[in-house]
Structure 1
């Protein structure tokens, strides 16, 4: 059930839902996971060598944060993302798209549909998909290049129907 405080006066609820539960893998995960395997493997090798060579305790402890980062890159981030998806609610109204996450800290992202210049539908599997509200923006160049990702409803069931609702509401709000 949607929190009534999320809706503005006169705003009409069109759809609400949550992302599909469970572990999800995307194409973008492959490179980061591959790097994580090397990072994690080297960190374990470091610790093993430091322990077996009788290195000082401070030298052995030095590698522990790297093991933690490697474990996160290879495996733990998938569980963290699944946890966050379980705490995420998506709301589509006739004027806005709202992403609300009640994880360790409460976050909310609101997109006014009239300000969305591009609405994209990405089909993930038979019924699941992602709706992107706007464009991803890349800034900088070379090694300092960064990407600001547009807000999105990720891994939602019946995504094509929700996309059609969102696009219709976006067109009506632009014309108004």
Structure 2
């Protein structure tokens, strides 16, 4: 059995693609988006009330829209794949170009299924260090997919060595 078309040089010997999908492309607001939006609205309102100028007003509007629009834009340009060893997230965005990242699915990988329709399957974490040296941990996964139960089942099979 040969390597799947387009995966030459990416998949390891014996690795096969089990599932491929894309995030739901609809625009959605999450609780964190609402918090960022309220801060941006407050910032913009303060700028208008105190006449701080167009730059501050624009910055507030940008803060209000950046998180939900950025999340939507990222999902619209992402592609997901699951092999019998790894989870892949490919993206193709205008400013960053094409990127392919992957994470091994190990027996100790923490898997979580979130939501009902669409669902998010979380399978990895990533630590990032901020400008002031603070570290934040971000969960990574397949966001907004419609067959999350099937995907997490496949990942559990991988963990058990049954895939």
The TM-score, its normalising length taken from structure 2, stands at 0.79
The answer as to 2:81 corresponding to 1:91 is: yes
TM-score by length of 1: 0.73
Distance 2:156 2:18 in 1: 12
- Larger Cα-atom Rg: 1
Equivalent residue for 1:109, pick from 96, 101, 104: 101
Residue 149 of structure 2 is matched in structure 1 by 160
Task: Structure 1: give runs of 5+ residues left out of the alignment.
Answer: 51-59
| 2:23 corresponds to | 19
CA contact (8 A) 1:134 1:151 kept: yes
2:87 and 2:32 mapped to 1: Cα distance? 25
| SS class of match (1:91) | strand
Partner of 2:60: 70
- Structure with the larger strand share: 2
Shift of 1:77: 3.4
Greater relative contact order (CA < 8 Å, ≥ 6 in sequence): 1
Give distance in 1, aligned partners of 2:66 and 2:29.
Answer: 13
Structure richer in helix, relative to its length: 1
Say which SS state the counterpart of residue 114 (structure 1) adopts: coil
1:148 is aligned to 2:137: yes
Q: Determine the structure 1 residue equivalent to 2:118.
A: 128
Instruction: Identify if the C-alpha distance between structure 1 residues 146 and 25 changes in structure 2 by more than 3 Å, giving closer, same or farther.
Output: farther
Q: Which ranges of structure 2 fall in alignment gaps of 5 or more residues?
A: none
Query: Deviation string for 1:23-45 (max 9, x for gaps)?
Result: 11222222222212111222333
Deviation of 1:115 (Å): 6.7
**Match in the other structure for 1:45:** 49
**What secondary structure sits across from 1:149 in the alignment?**
strand
Structure 1 SS opposite 2:161: helix
